[in-house]
Amino acid sequence: MAKPDKVSAVAEIADRFRTSSAAVVTEYSGLTVAQITTLRRALGTGTSYRVAKNTLVQRAAADAGVEGLDSLFVGPTAIAFVTGEPVEAAKALRDFAKDNKGLVVKGGYMDGKALSVDEVTAIADLDSREVLLAKLAGAMKGNMAKAAGLFNAPASQVARLAAALQDKKAAAGEPAES
């Protein structure tokens, strides 16, 4: 018979799988409590880092309809549940793992698909949403400036031609027409 605390833990983890935009599975062997606390702070408010038993996580993943992660639930497992920007959480995990060899990213889950370590690293290498929006705005502004220049070009050409014609007539001694 299942213990009530384990049932509630499975329900909580399953709910986090359902409500998260992404999840990153890590191994945390060799990290101290202070290091894990530092990692949780680095992840920010949009990400929760949960250490859990593999059997409970497997059941919760099955309850939530998450498939393809069973091979990752071996050894000491902790999951970063991302409710905000997945890029920021992946960057924080990658940077922390560089400094602390005890943290190993095993894989992840996003948009109904299991992610490999390389895919999680590729997400970490992306620019943040704000940077991408700024680049898009800059590109749009540049295109608008080009369009304004193109629309203005015929009118300025006509004005230059009229001025050149007027100068030519003035040089030939003809009276300038208005």
pTM of the model: 0.69
Nearest-angstrom CA–CA distance, 114 and 66: 8
Of the candidate CATH numbers 3.40.50.720, 1.10.10.10, 3.40.50.10610, 3.30.70.1730, the domain formed by 4-126 belongs to: 3.30.70.1730
- What does the pLDDT average to over 59-67? 88
Residues 21, 86: contact at Cβ < 8 Å? yes
**How many Å apart are CA 68 and CA 108, to the nearest integer?**
9
For the segment 86-133, what is each residue's pLDDT rounded down to a tens digit? 888 888 898 898 888 888 889 889 888 888 888 888 888 877 777 778
Mean pLDDT of 135-149: 80
Strand order through the sheet with 47-52: 47-52, 77-82, 22-27, 104-110, 113-115
pLDDT of residue 146: 79
